[in-house]
Structure 1
Amino acid sequence: MLWDTQFTLEDASGKTLHLKLLNYITQGIQSGRLNAGRKLPGSRSLAKQLGINRKTVQQVYEELEVQGWLESKLRQGTFVSHVLPEHHLLESDKKLISPLKTTKSSSKLTETLYENAIVLSDYLSIKNDGIPDARLIPYELLARTYRRVCISLSRHSKLGYGDPRGAIELRCSVQKMLTSERFMNCSEQEICIVRGSQMGIYLASRILNPQEGAIVMEESCYLPAQAAFEASGFKVLKCQLDEQGLNITHLRHILSNNDVAGVFVTPHHQYPTTVCLPMHRRLALLELSKLYNFAVIEDDYDHEFHYDTNPIPPLASLHNSENVVHIGSMSKVFAPGLRLGYVVADQHFIKRAAQEIVLIDRQGNTITEHVLSDLMESGEVKRHIRKVRQQYKERRNHAAKEFQRIFGDQISFILPTGGLAIWVDISKLSKGGNLANFDNDDSTLNVFFNKTQKEPSHIRFGFGSLNEYEITQSIDKIFQTLSDVEP
């Protein structure tokens, strides 16, 4: 009987589980512990042994096979190669097989976000922190519109290179929507089409100057935005949150003690706490932006889904909004896979954004941009929003009712006025206990959004992509998990 090869990542080098396992296996082969021809554990059993995701193991095995360290044999498994990539090489040549000295290092946060994205990409049920339900997409309408637009663009020879700011047709459609429904006074020359809000955030990080100061973000925030600003050389300062959102008093303290180039906010439904920033704080923020001359990056990622009252107008529509960079997305209207968003700012900022786009993308997706413009002009987008908004409101109400029914007074939450998630206080149940193994596809612990907070006290529960039966099942699972927490 053969002894199983044991693995441990406790002392392995690397910032992520992917790198730790990659380095551990490589070093094991180099040291002789994993000798040529040795069979490695299957991906499923190794993932179970290490307590990590199986997809991570599969990716490491595939990467090492490409590099020549491992070889797979059909129906037999994965083995250490008999001929290793570094054998028979001169010392001077061995340096050529490592790319580490030729590339800039990424931040730990960027590596973590990348690993999460790779793992989630192959899941049927991805981590849900408030994503829309792709089952509600009007597929037949989209298919018909794509076909009609493709034929029209082809006949009129409009499938070549275009404006890096986006198709003028879509920019005009977005301008009409922003003017009529969000009270924003802007022209199509002040709009740039991007591939979702994350690209708009990244462009803002590239255009603003880190030499002029730091970026202020909410203490619990959208981490991909933080990673983008840090990658562009910005120091990120965190501003406190309270029951009304961004704490303006603390922001004044930050401004009086630091040079600040910009403040990134999610005022409509604060991410992740869902709080709507009240009007008096919005006006105070804009006054401070004029006084201290910093940009306000407004991420208005789900403006369409506000249920109980008319939504508060965005920052970009208010007095003293000259420094606002407004970023919106159509991904929440349909699905994240439809990569379309927009940036609204002064013409100089939009010109700089278009210059950056020329370098990385040249232009967006011409066909999809014309399809969306067609749907907006025909009123189909507005009809779809009206329909799904009602469905999401019903799901929000059902989730609230089920949390109260299943948990009683053990949890608490404020019913969100909009959005696709609920921020739930679980501190009575968590009691500072260890929730490292908390695993629910529809919930994210608050410690994920705030790296300085160690003890879990809240979860962000995404109800948007679940029907009522699925909501009940998921909340039931959360209850069973939290009931087993040991202080």
Structure 2
Amino acid sequence: MSRFYNYDGPVGWVGKMLRPWQTRLWLEDGVGTSLHDKLINKFTDDIQNGRLQPGMLMPGSRTLASDLGINRKTVQLVYEELEAQGWLVSVQRRGTFVADVLPEQKISAKNLQLLDFAKKTRAPGRLISSLYKDALFEGNEVATVNDGIPDVRLIPYELLGRAYRRALISSIRQQSLGYGDPRGTPELRAAVREMLRIERFMAVPEAQICTVRGSQMGIFLAARVLNPKQGVVVLEELSYPPAQAAFESCGFQVVRCKLDHQGLDTKDLKRILKRHSASALYTTPHHQYPTTVCMSMERRLALLELSAEHQFAVIEDDYDHEFHYESRPIPPLASLPNSGNVIHIGSLSKVFAPGLRLGYMVADNYFIDRAAQEILLIDRQGNSVTEIALAELMQSGGVKKHIRKTRQLYRARRDFSVQEFRRVFGDQVEFEIPAGGLALWIGLAKGLYERSIQGLNKKDFYTDTHFGSHSGKTSYIRFGFGALTEAEITAAINQFASLLGVRK
């Protein structure tokens, strides 16, 4: 008889039969620190001990997720991993089955140790492990986590597509698709230099500019080049988690500095500098992440004076400079007096979409050369076609036109979000309308933040505990409005209100 994977029982029957019993799993005694690990281990254990027989039809991902009360994406990821390991096999239009031929199960203890890569690698930090798991879910969701990301639906894809085509053709004709300068293509570095000169008061030579795959790569390179033996790295008390993870992965001790309505508290920084030698300080002065506060000019000048006095690097993450609505943006730290120790990091990904992965670093020649040496080891160089295409759009005015258009739309979405929060919550929330950026920082009244928000949809909201708050109670949330239409903004705020039991 032909073998078909078609029902939950012995294999070998032709045709389809009903499942005699529903397959059940019990995760409470599963081994692992996460649901993903527990589910992987439970399946492999049940297959090895014979409870799940070869050829047995597995529950559908939606059914199993509902039965266990977990996210369906977790089940899908587990099924994919077990297929890759050879425990399961997927048959189109029929389902997922326990494999007929299972992976080797009788490896000696000695040889198992040889295959145990966990003992051969450095253990990841708790923060990077958490960020990695979030990234896996983001990659499988239709809409990614929205903490202030741009709306990818606004990409001028026809304009960008034509620029890509011209860049590819010219690269082929000029035979320039080989390896190039690890600091980036001359075209993009020249375009960035011109933009910095005109838009941000930064007159720098191309030798002090290095392109990177987004601001996160720039942050990691800074952490990699700077020396943790020279001192701690200072972060604002609420800060960007991937930046913290990058510094910790490179051996830095992280020390937190207080924040207030003017941004980083330079008086508290003085106190820190009396107790610690500092190698660097990481800050987001333009629109502080996550609170959206703009650092005052007085604080900026004081910070740079302290940097010159104590000789620590200031890593300025200027991740969304383009989206400032109320007035002309305050000049970057890198354009002010005493800015010789500033490492300026910018991103072009916010202008179009995170997936384009383009950013840049500006620093003195020695630092840029050191960063480029590290790039040689991990990246060699970026995507030259993308860089040339973006350089053309920057030089032709296409990028500036797109920024003007999206800035108006994002400002309208900010104002609509403010209106909706006030309509739904009234005086139960408080916030300052940010001068720029793609998110709001919402303070919750005491009666709200004492309620449980464990079911909060992290796709549109992040609580202050995510950014380094250790108060134990959520009193602020960050709401990203940039990637949402007005209808989506209303739906997200209404969902949040329902979770907190607020009557609209």
**For residues 212-238 of structure 1, what are the alpha-carbon distances to aligned partners after superposition, in whole Å with 9 as ceiling and x for unaligned?**
111111121111111111111111111
**Any conservation in 1 of the 2:430–2:445 contact (CA below 8 Å)?**
no
**Any conservation in 2 of the 1:194–1:200 contact (CA below 8 Å)?**
yes
Aligned to 2:500, what secondary structure does the other structure show?
A: helix
Quote the Cα distance in structure 1 between the aligned partners of 2:462 and 2:113: 42
Residue 112 in 1 paired to residue 124 in 2?
Answer: no
Match of residue 164 from structure 1: 182
Instruction: Identify the range of structure 1 (81-90 vs 384-393) with the bigger mean alpha-carbon deviation.
Output: 81-90
**Any conservation in 2 of the 1:440–1:474 contact (CA below 8 Å)?**
no
Residue 324 in 1 paired to residue 342 in 2?
Answer: yes
| AA aligned opposite 1:6 | L
Aligned to 2:356, what secondary structure does the other structure show?
A: coil
Quote the Cα distance in structure 2 between the aligned partners of 1:246 and 1:33: 60
Match of residue 351 from structure 1: 369
Note the C-alpha offset of 1:270: 0.5
**For residues 243-295 of structure 1, what are the alpha-carbon distances to aligned partners after superposition, in whole Å with 9 as ceiling and x for unaligned?**
22212222112111112111100000010110001011111111111111111
Residue 56 in 1 paired to residue 74 in 2?
Answer: yes
Misfit runs of 4+, over 6 Å:
none
| AA aligned opposite 1:227 | A
Aligned in 2, Cα 1:367/1:457: closer, same or farther, shift over 3 Å? Answer: same
Note the C-alpha offset of 1:47: 2.4
Aligned to 2:221, what secondary structure does the other structure show?
A: helix
Match of residue 10 from structure 2: none
Quote the Cα distance in structure 2 between the aligned partners of 1:337 and 1:270: 23
Quote the Cα distance in structure 2 between the aligned partners of 1:34 and 1:231: 42
| AA aligned opposite 1:405 | R
Residue number among 311, 314, 317 corresponding to 1:293 in the alignment: 311
Aligned in 2, Cα 1:340/1:42: closer, same or farther, shift over 3 Å? Answer: same
**Any conservation in 1 of the 2:238–2:289 contact (CA below 8 Å)?**
yes
Note the C-alpha offset of 1:102: 2.1
Residue number among 199, 208, 221 corresponding to 1:203 in the alignment: 221
Where do 1:7-406 residues align within 5 Å?
A: 7-9=26-28, 12-14=31-33, 16-29=34-47, 32=49, 34-37=51-54, 40-72=58-90, 77-81=95-99, 84-406=102-424
Aligned to 1:483, what secondary structure does the other structure show?
A: coil
Quote the Cα distance in structure 2 between the aligned partners of 1:115 and 1:420: 24
| AA aligned opposite 2:478 | R
| AA aligned opposite 1:422 | L
Aligned in 2, Cα 1:12/1:392: closer, same or farther, shift over 3 Å? Answer: same
Aligned in 2, Cα 1:232/1:34: closer, same or farther, shift over 3 Å? Answer: farther
Note the C-alpha offset of 1:336: 0.8
Residue 467 in 1 paired to residue 485 in 2?
Answer: yes
Instruction: Identify the range of structure 1 (375-384 vs 303-312) with the bigger mean alpha-carbon deviation.
Output: 375-384
Quote the Cα distance in structure 1 between the aligned partners of 2:52 and 2:393: 61
Percent identity between the two aligned chains = 54
Note the C-alpha offset of 1:111: 1.5
Match of residue 16 from structure 2: none
The normalised TM-score by structure 2 is: 0.91
| AA aligned opposite 2:362 | V
**Any conservation in 2 of the 1:120–1:126 contact (CA below 8 Å)?**
yes
Residue number among 409, 413, 423 corresponding to 2:441 in the alignment: 423
**Any conservation in 2 of the 1:443–1:459 contact (CA below 8 Å)?**
yes
Note the C-alpha offset of 1:34: 4.2
**Any conservation in 1 of the 2:151–2:482 contact (CA below 8 Å)?**
yes
Aligned in 2, Cα 1:9/1:33: closer, same or farther, shift over 3 Å? Answer: farther
Note the C-alpha offset of 1:17: 3.4
**Any conservation in 2 of the 1:326–1:343 contact (CA below 8 Å)?**
yes
Aligned in 2, Cα 1:84/1:453: closer, same or farther, shift over 3 Å? Answer: farther
Quote the Cα distance in structure 2 between the aligned partners of 1:361 and 1:473: 41
Quote the Cα distance in structure 2 between the aligned partners of 1:2 and 1:418: 57
Quote the Cα distance in structure 2 between the aligned partners of 1:223 and 1:406: 30
Note the C-alpha offset of 1:194: 0.5
Aligned in 2, Cα 1:260/1:152: closer, same or farther, shift over 3 Å? Answer: same
Quote the Cα distance in structure 1 between the aligned partners of 2:237 and 2:38: 29
Residue 483 in 1 paired to residue 501 in 2?
Answer: yes
**Any conservation in 2 of the 1:222–1:449 contact (CA below 8 Å)?**
yes
Note the C-alpha offset of 1:454: 2.0
Instruction: Identify the range of structure 1 (82-91 vs 116-125) with the bigger mean alpha-carbon deviation.
Output: 82-91
Note the C-alpha offset of 1:48: 2.8
- Structure 2, unaligned runs of 5 or more: 1-19
Quote the Cα distance in structure 2 between the aligned partners of 1:217 and 1:10: 40
**Any conservation in 2 of the 1:430–1:456 contact (CA below 8 Å)?**
no
Over alpha carbons, which structure has the higher Rg?
2
Quote the Cα distance in structure 2 between the aligned partners of 1:74 and 1:146: 36
| AA aligned opposite 1:64 | L
Quote the Cα distance in structure 2 between the aligned partners of 1:135 and 1:401: 23
Note the C-alpha offset of 1:70: 3.6
- Structure 1, unaligned runs of 5 or more: none
Quote the Cα distance in structure 1 between the aligned partners of 2:447 and 2:213: 40
Note the C-alpha offset of 1:19: 2.7
**Any conservation in 2 of the 1:429–1:482 contact (CA below 8 Å)?**
no
Aligned to 2:164, what secondary structure does the other structure show?
A: helix
